Amino acid sequence: MPIQPPERCRTMAEVRAGVDATDRELVDLLARRFAYMDAAARIKPERGAVRDERRKAEVIANARGRAEAAGLPADEIAAIWDRLVEASIAYELEAWDRLRASAS
């Protein structure tokens, strides 16, 4: 079934196909985001540099602002981004440890 833009959907099957396609794209984007966490783990010289609360707040504020501009529920998007950033930090810490363990 071809993917229809939301405004052209006429059936729930079309809506679900669009949601499923969007979810696949989101996972692909998350894979790219986490690849940047691998790069950060490689670049940061100290494990303590992985958690940066100022940067975390900036990333969440950016997401909130984009959500507001798009007419989306900003509080919910900010909560999703808070969880995403925490998951990214945990992933980066694991990557940092893994890289240093394999170098020894």
Q: Model-level pTM greater than 0.75?
A: yes
Reduced to 3 states (helix: H, G, I; strand: E, B; else coil), residue 5 is coil
In the structure encoding, which two tokens stand for residue 43, read together?
Answer: 């670049």
Q: Where are the domains of the chain?
A: 6-103
Q: Is residue 91's pLDDT more than 80?
A: yes
Q: Is residue 103's pLDDT more than 90?
A: no
Q: What is the pLDDT of residue 44?
A: 97
Q: What is the pLDDT of residue 102?
A: 86
Spatial CB neighbours of 80, under 8 Å, sequence gap ≥ 6: 63
What fold is seen in the domain 6-103?
Chorismate Mutase Domain, subunit A (1.20.59)
The one-character DSSP state at 11 is S
Q: Which residues are annotated as a binding site for substrate?
A: 16, 33, 44, 92
Dump pLDDT digits (tens) for 40-51.
Answer: 999 999 999 999
Query: What value does the mean pLDDT take over residues 68-82?
Result: 98
Q: Which residues are annotated as a binding site?
A: 16, 33, 44, 92
